[in-house]
C-alpha cells in the first residue's frame, strides 16, 4: 500500500513564525503536491513537484515556498505565518513524472496560526 | 478552464438505501477521473479511478461510471450503511496539469 505521511496532525504557531510542514511518501512516486482545504472553498493546490529540485506553482502559491531535495520528501514552508494561513494542509503523491495518475493523500495537518 | 461541480452539496438517506452521487466537468479532454472519500478532519482516501477509455469501475458496493462526452460521472453506493457517512469528492485529471477537484457531497446515512 502507498503510504504518505505528514510530520504533524495538529500544529499551533504564532503570527510571523517560520513554519515547516513535511511530507514523505514510500512508493518512489515522481509527483508530489501540497493543497490547503478550507470550508466552502474546497481543495486548492499550493505547489507541486514532478521531480527532485523541481517545483511548479499551483493556484495559490503566495506566502508559501517548497523544497524537494530528495524524491520521497516534499516540504511546505510558510516564511512568515499569518492568521489567514490557518487551514488544513494536505500532501499527496502520484506515479510517473508528468503523468498525473492516481493520487494518494496523507492524513493532513491542521495548522492554527494565532 | 476545467471546472468540476458536485450536486447535491449534502445528502441524507436512511440505512439500506441505494444512492447516486453526481459529478460534472466542463472540459471532456481528461486522462481519468478519481473518486475520493474524506472523513471529518482526515485526509482523502482514493476509492476508484476511471481511465478516460473506461466506462465504469467497481469496488465492492461502489460503482463509478464515466461519460466523457457529456462531462458526467456518477458514484453509485449500494445498500448504504452508517459507516458510509463521509464527504465524497470527485477530481478530473486534465491534460498535463494536476487534478481539478469538486467541492464534494457530504453524505449522512441514518441508522
- E-strand ranges in B1-111 read 4-7, 10-14, 19-25, 30-38, 44-51, 56-59, 62-67, 72-77, 86-94, 100-101, 105-110
**Residue A24 has what pLDDT?**
97
Relative to beta strand B105-110, strand B44-51 is unpaired
Q: To which residue does cell 482545504 refer? A: A37
Nearest to B98 among A33, A41, A88 (CB): A33
CB B96 within 8 A of CB A98: yes
Residue of B44, B100, B103, B106 to mutate when probing chain A, most A C-beta within 10 A = B44
State phi, psi for B82 to the nearest 5 degrees: -55, -30
**Chain A contact present for B42, CB below 8 A:** yes
**Residue B96 has what pLDDT?**
62
**Chain A contact present for B106, CB below 8 A:** no
| Ranges of residues in chain A whose predicted pLDDT is under 70 | 1-2, 96-100
- Check A102 against B34: CB less than 8 A apart: yes
| Ranges of residues in chain B whose predicted pLDDT is under 50 | none
Closest CA to A78 of A44, A40, A46: A46
CB A44 within 8 A of CB A59: yes
**Residue A102 has what pLDDT?**
84
Amino acid at each position: 500500500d502507498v503510504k504518505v505521511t505528514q510530520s504533524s496532525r495538529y500544529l499551533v504557531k504564532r503570527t510571523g513564525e517560520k513554519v515547516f510542514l513535511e511530507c514523505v511518501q514510500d512508493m518512489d512516486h515522481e509527483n508530489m503536491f501540497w493543497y490547503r482545504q478550507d470550508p466552502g472553498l474546497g481543495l486548492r493546490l499550493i505547489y507541486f513537484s514532478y521531480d527532485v529540485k523541481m517545483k511548479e506553482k499551483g493556484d495559490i502559491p503566495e506566502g508559501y515556498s517548497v523544497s524537494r531535495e530528495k524524491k520521497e520528501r516534499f516540504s511546505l514552508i510558510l516564511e512568515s505565518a499569518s492568521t489567514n494561513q490557518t487551514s488544513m494542509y494536505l500532501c499527496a503523491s502520484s506515479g510517473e513524472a508528468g503523468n498525473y495518475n492516481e493520487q494518494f493523500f496523507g492524513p493532513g495537518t491542521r495548522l492554527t496560526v494565532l | 478552464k476545467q471546472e468540476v461541480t458536485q450536486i447535491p452539496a449534502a445528502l441524507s438517506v436512511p440505512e439500506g438505501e441505494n444512492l447516486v452521487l453526481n459529478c460534472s466537468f466542463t472540459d471532456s479532454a481528461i486522462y481519468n477521473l478519481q473518486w475520493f472519500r474524506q472523513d471529518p478532519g482526515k485526509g482523502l482516501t482514493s476509492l476508484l479511478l476511471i481511465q478516460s477509455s473506461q466506462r465504469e469501475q467497481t469496488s465492492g458496493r461502489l460503482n463509478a461510471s464515466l461519460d466523457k462526452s457529456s462531462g458526467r460521472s456518477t458514484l453509485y453506493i449500494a445498500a448504504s450503511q452508517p459507516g458510509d457517512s463521509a464527504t465524497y469528492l470527485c477530481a478530473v485529471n486534465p491534460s498535463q496539469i494536476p487534478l481539478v477537484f469538486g467541492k464534494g457531497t457530504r453524505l449522512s446515512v441514518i441508522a
